[in-house]
Every structure is written in C-alpha cells, then in structure tokens.
Amino acid sequence: MTHDNYVSAAAAYYEYKLAQFGATPAGVDWNSEASQQLRFDQLFRCVSPTWPSSIRSVNDYGCGYGALTDHLERLGFSGEYRGYDASPKMIEAAARDHSGRGRHFTSDRRALEVADLTVASGIFNVKLQATDEAWWE
C-alpha cells in the first residue's frame, strides 16, 4: 500500500464514520466527547506556559470536523487556526460548523502556512489494511 493509497483509504474510513455519526466525536472515531476533550487537554499540556498569548497561529493536521477550534477558543486562543484533513467531506463539515474569524479549513496540504504551533492528534490511530512496514512509513 503506497502512502497516497493509505491516505485515501484513511480518508474514506473517516468519511464513512462521518456519514454514520455526523460531526460528533464518534464521527472521528472517539468513543465519547469526554475522551476527545481529554485528548485536547493533553495536547496543550506540553505547550509553553505563556500559552495561549504566546501563540499567534495553529495548524491542526488531521482536523476532522474542526472540534479543536472550540476547545482553543475556550482556552483563550484568538489567533489564526488552519485545519487540514485529507477528507474533503470532513473539511466541508468543519467549514460549515466552525468557520469564523481566523478559522480556515482545507484538504490541500500545500495551502497550510507555517504556524507557531502544529498539532496532529489521532492521525496515527487507524492502521486499516496497511502492513506494519507501510503503516510506520
């Protein structure tokens, strides 16, 4: 399985979940909203103690339906957010439900700009049919 084939298969997997459960934690394969929020909390435990005022931009690599934007807002982040996901349907859901000032969503990796912080939460959770070697690569 090539990298592109794997990414396409993973995008299709998550599009199936999105169709099944909608733009919810289950739609991105989390077992509950509480577990999703716990993951978000853990992601930002390792960020600078001056967070969020020291961070002006965040890239969310594998943004799903954009739930991290609301979490960032609750933390007091008011900078630029750029969400990328390989699934165009996830990007549609993210843009529909989470668009606003400073929030941008794309399924084109080339559209991401350099950011003060990039997070990638959950992008390695689904192996699918890839061999161990291909998945690690």
More confident residue, 57 or 132: 57
- Alpha-carbon distance of 131 to 103, in angstroms, equals 36
Ranges of H-type helices in the chain:
3-21, 33-43, 67-74, 88-98, 132-136
- pTM score, two decimals? 0.88
Summarize the confidence of residues 7-14 as an average pLDDT.
88
Domain encompassing residue 84: 3-136
Taking 80 as the threshold, does the pLDDT of residue 76 lie above it?
yes
pLDDT digits 0-9 by tens, 121-135: 877 778 788 788 877
- The fraction of the chain above a pLDDT of 90, given in percent, is 54
β 57-61/117-119 pair status: parallel
pLDDT at residue 86, rounded to an integer: 94
pLDDT digits 0-9 by tens, 95-125: 999 988 899 999 998 999 999 999 988 777 7
At residue 1 the predicted structure's pLDDT band, cuts being 50, 70 and 90, is low
Domain count for the chain, please give it. Answer: 1
Taking 70 as the threshold, does the pLDDT of residue 81 lie above it?
yes
State the CATH number of the domain containing residue 81: 3.40.50.150
